[in-house]
Amino acid sequence: MYQRDNSIGKGKDWILIWLYVIIVIIGLVCIFSVEYKSNDDFFRSLFAFKKTYSKQFLFFGISLVLATFILLTDSKFFTATPNLLYIIGILLMMATFVVGKNVNGSKSWIPLGFMNLQPVELCKIFTALALAKYLARNDTDFTKPRSQLIAAGIAFLPIVFSILQNETGLALVYFSFLLPMYREGLPPGYLISGASLGVLLVVTLLFPPKTLIIALSVIAGITIYFMKRKIKRNKGLLVVILGIWLAATLFVGVAVPFLFRHVFQKYQADRIFSMVGRDNPFVDASTATITAPEPTAKAGKDDKENYNVKQSKIAIGSGGFFGKGFLKGTQTQGDFVPEQNTDFIFTSVGENFGFVGCFILMLLYFGLMLRIVYIAERQRSTFSRVYAYSVVGILFFHISINICMTIGLAPVIGITLPFMSYGGSSLLTFTILLFILIRLDADRQMVLR
Amino acid sequence: MSVFNQSRKNVIRLILISMFLIIIIRLLSLQVATSKYKILAEDQGVFRKVIYPDRGIVFDRNHKAILQNTIIYDLMVVPAKIKGTDTATLCNILQIDTAEFRKRIITAIIKNKSYRPSVFEALLSEEKMAKLNENMFRFAPGYYLQERPVRDYPYDAGGNILGYLSEVDTNFLKSHKDEGYMIGDYAGKTGMERTYEKVLMGQRGIEFWKRDNKNRLTERLENGMYDTIAIAGQNMYTSIDIELQELGEKLMENKLGSIVAVDPKTGGILCMVSSPTYKPKYLTGADRKKHYSNLLLDPALPLFNRSVTATYSPGSTFKTLQALVGLHEGVITTDFRVACSGAFYGCGGGKPMKCLDRGVFDLRGAITISDNTYFATVMQKVIANPAYPNQDSSLRKWDNYMYAFGLGHKLGIDVPSEKPGNIPTPAYYDKVHGKGKWNYCNFRSVSIGQGEVNVTPIQVANEMAYIANKGWYIIPHLVDSIDGGDKFGMLEKFKKKHNAIDIPDSVFEAVHDGMQGVVDHGTGVAAKVPGIAICGKTGTVENYIGLVKQPNHAFFCGFAPRENPKIAIMCVVENSGRFGGTYAAPIVGLMIEKYLKDSIAGKERKAKLEQLSKLNLIPPRIFRETQRRDSLAHAKDSAYLIAKGYIKMIKDTMGMDASDEEDALDQMKKEKELTKKEQKKTPDSTGTRNAPAGILPDEKKKPLKEPVDTTG
């Protein structure tokens, strides 16, 4: 059945490859627009590899070479080695505690001379492969809780190390492995309750409790109305819905305010709110008396994060419908948005190319993800399918959280925008992640284990 | 198994698509629905930089620059970069202590943050600049010098004409709403700088710059596509003869008063001296505020442009005009004679109007010896002229003559703060005495230029031009032409001849005869210049402050040469005592000589010049007031408040409208504190401090006991 391809292009999903290339090039253009000043000598600095855009250009080159290698590798390599790679990944993460380099307060980098490697990024690939390997095993019955527990163990083990490295944002990414597990039969309750708890937490930060309680009641009412018949047959359902409604309302109306008023110190609460670019709404007379003197360093950081989101919103919002034009963004050129070439790269799209540019970029990203879903479903082997859904999960988490944080819909947790953010570690990781999928997909006629 | 869960792919797709929609809706609301972020972005990302063009240069009649631009330097500091510089040397050069140094650095950081430049010391004096320049390498890169264009006065004369610039205040901004001024801008406050502000200012340019997150300007927005280019102010050519002006200021040293000279043919002002004056350099550049407060508080009012703002009774100089009226009305002829037996008795009893030389005079003789009785009689005849039905109409007729001569109204000259003077009208007398209850005898002293009539020096000079031209004048003005054209039509009114009443030349000839007689053998022989036929008229003006009689003002006015006159001039020396011929006439003589012959010839004349220049005629009341002011400044707590009232008084007197008074007060306060400190440091000091010298060196301030009569 399996025949070795003579040409590297045969059987490869070119749509995916082109989407990848286009997005990376858009990323390069954006990094260029952030860094470039009108008096720079473009060609000289491009090949001097001193500027971020020229470095990113270099990383793109390396990525293409690496992608070619991956496409030339026998796909059996990926099915044979996951366990080993996973162990290596975990060891690398442990190694950071010994040889780690401190970058921006997190000790998660291993210096390699020409670049810094972040094992937690690389480990995503290994985890995806290991999860796929485990779920594809003949003797794994994913309906059994034991299997579910082992799968969760594989997926969530890196979180422990990541949190220890003070990289909470990257740790959260591993929750995206819930997506392939859901696809493979994990009861939807886990996904729904997990997701809704997350959403509820974020919306409590974004909106005042009164609005939320009204919204929740409306949602509950609508649910009851549409489920009238089911409820008639099963009274317990009504109790469940009302129970959920009551729990959510209590969470929003009582638990969260209580938490912010009495459990958290004022600076902690401020910091959490500043992550979404809002001022702490729970400041009132009652807290004023309890608040401990504010540690200035913390306050400085709050201001900074609040500032990030505000500047990011200003940059994107000022782009308008058509944008200000390439290299004409005053906010981008004035370095108003901090970390603009990494976590906040989307702001330069928003400012330079406006709503139209953002819309097109979103089409590309979501097109890419839907294409992977399509590819996943055409796989004959569980291994490839699980791996593909892992890729979708990781991409989805990164893209939606990153963009939501630039437009003030999610807390700033410091994760990159795949394929666009500056940084070798991020670009190489996502390239490898994607091209392994393309390689596996090329052999979709085979049943890989 | 996979078949079993196949439907879940749709759930996953749904999740993807809903997230896509959430993001797109949010983007729509951020980017399309509101322009809030656009405005925010422009506020922080774009800087509108105003480019100030060079102000126009002013030239005198010989094309010498009398007002131009120069550069002085501000010492700038970037607090973030000053580590390791030699602070001690810097403090030494700037003469500040470390406490002051710290204070300034902290202020700079508070104002502009530590990575942006702030002014450390503005407008460095030449001395400090010289020392700094040598040592600048020690202070780099934390400190640097920044150019700032300021006005420069190459001749150090004519401060009252040229005027000065000062920061615009809210009133100015309100009245010049649409002219693009902003807080912190400078605009002409007095003199030519004010009148020709529009011309001299030029057109401001605006550059749009991109600004970065630290508020530093990075580059032009769109390569300057939206910028407007600054256009330099227009240069102006004036009729001023700067050397004549200098001579005038020299002659008027140690005197209160004014000299105004006009070219009768063009109306161009040749010089306009107001004494005491100030060095125009005092009000530009370093120490401006200190000088300003001293000048403002000087009781001799150096900031007050006497030439156009002070009003005096014209005294006997008015008689020439009465002669014109009398002759043209036909109430007298040149041969009309009046006998003076010691006083004017035309009104019967009461206080008689004295005449000095007894005898019988015709018109020429009466002008020459300035006979009061003659002109009292002439005006009586004018008022009682049977050609008019009543004295109302005849006085109105007389008023019309005066208006035609340029009196009783603002001339419309291009020097600000011009006063109209006063010519009494029938309505005025109706008000004072009741309708119909007055007659000529109520105001007979008007005939000899006392009483209700008031004129400014410029009006007298203009009146001389009128007589010199035999019946016309052009409104006196400073500016002849503007480089690049008179865009605002400001010079048009200076091209028109004013000759409201047509008086035949023969009438003027008679008056000229009389005036020439004044200089040749009359009351004004002191004005004589060998080889020049000068027509002149003296005036000795009685004046009062309140009801207290003060020493007379000395007046002399005239024109020369008699044929084809080139200069019409007037001089007033306030409270000099004696007669117009004593002090004012020789000054005018020297001025005419300088202008017509280009220099003062001969040892004797030069000696006279020096003698006149040194002559101190400042009335003692000024010194009393100076002392009072100094003691005010001394009075411990109330001084400040009292001074506030004091300044209001000065302001009212000087007719100034916009002001730096607050600054001046602050300056004064500072000085006071300084003095206090000094006094604390040296407890054995006498406690008297040097009075701010104002504008006169101390030794010159002592009044002379008795002025020396130079004319003998």
Kindly provide the ipTM of the predicted complex, given to two decimals: 0.85
- pLDDT above 90 coverage of chain B, percent: 15
- Tokens coding B61: 């009649």
Q: Under a CB-based contact definition with an 8 Å cutoff, are residues B516 and B534 in contact? A: yes
Name the more confident of A274 and B600.
Answer: B600
Is beta strand B58-59 parallel, antiparallel or unpaired with respect to B236-238?
parallel
Task: For A329, name the nearest residue in chain B, comparing CA atoms only.
Answer: B45
pLDDT over 90 (residue A267)? no
Tell me, yes or no, if B641 comes closer than 8 A to chain A by beta carbon.
Answer: no
pLDDT over 80 (residue B8)? yes
Most confident of B21-35, B100-114, B369-383: B21-35
Assess if residue B381 is contained within a domain. Answer: yes
Determine the distance in angstroms separating the CA of B9 from the nearest CA of chain A, rounded to an integer.
Answer: 7
Of B23, B31, B223, nearest to A362 by CB-CB distance is: B23
- Tokens coding B67: 């007002």
Assess if residue A447 is contained within a domain. Answer: no
Tell me, yes or no, if B221 comes closer than 8 A to chain A by beta carbon.
Answer: yes
pLDDT over 50 (residue B94)? yes
pLDDT over 60 (residue B712)? no
B9/A377 CB distance under 8 A: yes
Domain span including residue A246: 187-291
Angle of helix A82-99 relative to helix A119-136, nearest 10 degrees?
160
pLDDT tens figures, B163-206: 888 878 888 888 877 777 777 678 888 888 988 988 888 887 77
Decide: residue B99, CB within 10 A, 0-12 exposed, 13-18 middle, 19+ buried: exposed
Closest CA to B541 of B255, B257, B245, B251: B257
Of A142, A314, A389, nearest to B40 by CB-CB distance is: A314
Sheet strands (E) in B283-399: 338-340, 343-344, 353-354, 359-361
Name the more confident of B39 and A320.
Answer: A320
Cα separation, A386 vs A391, in Å, equals 9
Cα of A50 vs its chain's centroid, Å: 28
Task: For B209, name the nearest residue in chain A, comparing CA atoms only.
Answer: A330
The residue count of chain A comes to 449
Cα separation, B28 vs A356, in Å, equals 10
Residues A38 and A137 in one domain: yes
pLDDT tens figures, A117-170: 888 888 999 999 999 999 988 888 888 888 889 999 999 999 888 888 777 778
- Average pLDDT of the segment spanning B122-145: 82
Cα separation, B67 vs B283, in Å, equals 13
pLDDT tens figures, B395-439: 888 888 999 998 888 998 998 888 898 888 888 888 888 887 888
Cα separation, B471 vs B452, in Å, equals 25
Report pLDDT for B59.
93
pLDDT over 80 (residue B657)? no
Determine the distance in angstroms separating the CA of B27 from the nearest CA of chain A, rounded to an integer.
Answer: 7
Report pLDDT for B659.
45
Report pLDDT for A396.
95
Residues A58 and A162 in one domain: yes
Determine the distance in angstroms separating the CA of A54 from the nearest CA of chain B, rounded to an integer.
Answer: 22
The count of structural domains within chain A is 2
pLDDT tens figures, B350-404: 566 676 666 788 888 888 888 888 888 888 888 888 888 888 888 888 888 999 9
- Tokens coding A168: 């909470």
Domain span including residue B75: 69-148
Report pLDDT for A395.
96
Assess if residue B260 is contained within a domain. Answer: no
CA distances from B223 to B58, B79, B210, B226 (A): 35, 31, 10, 8
Cα separation, B351 vs B657, in Å, equals 42
Sheet strands (E) in B198-267: 205-211, 217-220, 236-238, 257-262
Task: For B35, name the nearest residue in chain A, comparing CA atoms only.
Answer: A318
A370/B6 CB distance under 8 A: no
For chain A, positions 163-222, list CB contacts with chain B under 8 A: 179, 182-185, 188
Assess if residue B11 is contained within a domain. Answer: no
Assign residue B487 a region (left: φ > 0; alpha: ψ between -120 and 50; beta: otherwise).
alpha
Tell me, yes or no, if A372 comes closer than 8 A to chain B by beta carbon.
Answer: no
- Average pLDDT of the segment spanning B647-653: 55
pLDDT over 50 (residue B699)? no
Report pLDDT for A296.
37
- Tokens coding A320: 């308008």
Tell me, yes or no, if B45 comes closer than 8 A to chain A by beta carbon.
Answer: yes
Determine the distance in angstroms separating the CA of A112 from the nearest CA of chain B, rounded to an integer.
Answer: 33
Assess if residue A276 is contained within a domain. Answer: yes
Domain boundary (A231, A265, A291) is at A291
Residue B375 belongs to a domain with what CATH number? 3.40.710.10
Residues whose CB falls within 8 Å of the CB of residue A141, separated by 6 or more in sequence, listed in order:
A147
Q: Under a CB-based contact definition with an 8 Å cutoff, are residues B629 and B278 in contact? A: no
Name the more confident of B238 and A304.
Answer: B238
Residues A85 and A195 in one domain: no
Cα separation, B569 vs B533, in Å, equals 14
pLDDT over 70 (residue B643)? no
pLDDT over 60 (residue B343)? yes
- Average pLDDT of the segment spanning A354-367: 95
Q: What is the dihedral of CA B581, B583, B588, B589, to 10 degrees?
A: 70
For chain A, positions 49-78, list CB contacts with chain B under 8 A: none
The position carrying tokens 């970390």 is A339
Residues A52 and A164 in one domain: yes
Residues of chain A with C-beta less than 8 angstroms from the C-beta of B38: 317-318, 320
B44/A185 CB distance under 8 A: no
Cα separation, B323 vs B333, in Å, equals 9
Report the SS3 class of residue B34: coil
3-class SS letters over B534-588: CEEEEEEEEEEECCEEEEEEEEEEEEECCCCCCEEEEEEECCCCCCHHHHHHHHH
Assess if residue A299 is contained within a domain. Answer: no
Name the more confident of A38 and B628.
Answer: B628
Report pLDDT for B687.
38
Q: Under a CB-based contact definition with an 8 Å cutoff, are residues B314 and B553 in contact? A: no
Task: For A140, name the nearest residue in chain B, comparing CA atoms only.
Answer: B1
Tell me, yes or no, if A320 comes closer than 8 A to chain B by beta carbon.
Answer: yes
A316/B31 CB distance under 8 A: yes
Residue B140 belongs to a domain with what CATH number? 3.90.1310.10
Element (H, E) at B497: strand B497-498
Tell me, yes or no, if A362 comes closer than 8 A to chain B by beta carbon.
Answer: yes
Report pLDDT for B667.
57
Residues A325 and A362 in one domain: yes
Residues A273 and A384 in one domain: no
Domain boundary (A259, A291, A323) is at A291
Cα separation, B200 vs B52, in Å, equals 12
- Average pLDDT of the segment spanning B554-576: 90
Of B22, B38, B40, nearest to A320 by CB-CB distance is: B38
Assess if residue A50 is contained within a domain. Answer: yes
Closest CA to B450 of B582, B320, B317, B342: B317
Assess if residue A380 is contained within a domain. Answer: yes
Assess if residue A96 is contained within a domain. Answer: yes
The position carrying tokens 């500040």 is B96
- Tokens coding A327: 């290299």
Question: Which pTM was predicted?
Answer: 0.62
Domain boundary (B507, B528, B549) is at B528
Assess if residue B139 is contained within a domain. Answer: yes
Of B2, B17, B36, nearest to A385 by CB-CB distance is: B2
Report the SS3 class of residue A225: helix
Q: Which amino acid is at B453?
A: V
Confidence band of A2 (pLDDT split at 50, 70, 90): very low
Domain boundary (B528, B556, B577) is at B528
Residues A250 and A281 in one domain: yes
Q: Which of A38, A148, A328, A331 to mutate to test the interface with B (most CBs of B within 10 A)?
A: A331
Domain boundary (A291, A324, A356) is at A291
A336/B42 CB distance under 8 A: no
Q: Which of B2, B3, B10, B31 to mutate to test the interface with A (most CBs of A within 10 A)?
A: B31
Assign residue B254 a region (left: φ > 0; alpha: ψ between -120 and 50; beta: otherwise).
left
Tell me, yes or no, if A448 comes closer than 8 A to chain B by beta carbon.
Answer: no
Cα separation, B701 vs B12, in Å, equals 99
| First-to-last C-alpha distance (Å) of chain A | 15
Domain boundary (B499, B528, B557) is at B528
Tell me, yes or no, if A35 comes closer than 8 A to chain B by beta carbon.
Answer: no
Assess if residue B691 is contained within a domain. Answer: no
pLDDT over 70 (residue B215)? no
Cα separation, B294 vs B668, in Å, equals 8
Where b means 16+ CB within 10 Å and e means fewer, A50-81 reads ebbbbbbbbbbeebeeebeebbeeebeebbee
Residues whose CB falls within 8 Å of the CB of residue A347, separated by 6 or more in sequence, listed in order:
A311, A312, A315, A316, A331, A332, A337, A340, A406
Assess if residue B549 is contained within a domain. Answer: no
Residues A282 and A374 in one domain: no
Cα separation, B602 vs B607, in Å, equals 9
Residues of chain B with C-beta less than 8 angstroms from the C-beta of A188: 11
Task: For B14, name the nearest residue in chain A, comparing CA atoms only.
Answer: A370
Q: Which amino acid is at A231?
A: I
Residues of chain A with C-beta less than 8 angstroms from the C-beta of B219: 37-39, 333
- Tokens coding A95: 């190694």
A376/B9 CB distance under 8 A: yes
Residues A34 and A163 in one domain: yes
Cα separation, A352 vs A30, in Å, equals 9
The count of structural domains within chain B is 2
- Average pLDDT of the segment spanning B462-490: 90
Assess if residue A262 is contained within a domain. Answer: yes
Q: Under a CB-based contact definition with an 8 Å cutoff, are residues B608 and B526 in contact? A: no
Residues A309 and A365 in one domain: yes
Neighbour tally for A95: CB within 10 Å: 12
Residues A148 and A176 in one domain: yes
Chain mean pLDDT for chain A: 82
Chain mean pLDDT for chain B: 80
Cα of A320 vs its chain's centroid, Å: 26
Tell me, yes or no, if A314 comes closer than 8 A to chain B by beta carbon.
Answer: yes
Confidence band of B237 (pLDDT split at 50, 70, 90): very high
B30/A182 CB distance under 8 A: no
Task: For B22, name the nearest residue in chain A, comparing CA atoms only.
Answer: A404
Determine the distance in angstroms separating the CA of A176 from the nearest CA of chain B, rounded to an integer.
Answer: 12
Assess if residue A5 is contained within a domain. Answer: no
Instruction: State residue B167 phi and psi, 5-degree precision.
Output: -65, 140
Element (H, E) at A270: helix A266-274
Assess if residue B497 is contained within a domain. Answer: yes
Of B12, B22, B44, nearest to A179 by CB-CB distance is: B12
Instruction: State residue B550 phi and psi, 5-degree precision.
Output: -105, 165
The secondary structure of residue B56, as a DSSP letter, is: P
- Tokens coding B508: 């003027």
Residues of chain A with C-beta less than 8 angstroms from the C-beta of B3: none
Tell me, yes or no, if B15 comes closer than 8 A to chain A by beta carbon.
Answer: yes
Cα separation, A51 vs A31, in Å, equals 10
Cα separation, B236 vs B199, in Å, equals 9
Assess if residue B387 is contained within a domain. Answer: yes
Cα of B673 vs its chain's centroid, Å: 31
Q: Under a CB-based contact definition with an 8 Å cutoff, are residues B75 and B145 in contact? A: yes
- Tokens coding A406: 């630039």
Cα separation, B532 vs B598, in Å, equals 13
Residues A248 and A264 in one domain: yes
Report pLDDT for B462.
92
A101: which strand partners? A109
A48-57, A230-239, A390-399, B683-692: the lowest-pLDDT one = B683-692
Tell me, yes or no, if B47 comes closer than 8 A to chain A by beta carbon.
Answer: no
Q: How many CA atoms lie within 13 A of B357 on its CB side?
A: 14
Q: Is the dihedral of CA B628, B634, B636, B641 positive or negative?
A: positive
Determine the distance in angstroms separating the CA of B36 from the nearest CA of chain A, rounded to an integer.
Answer: 8
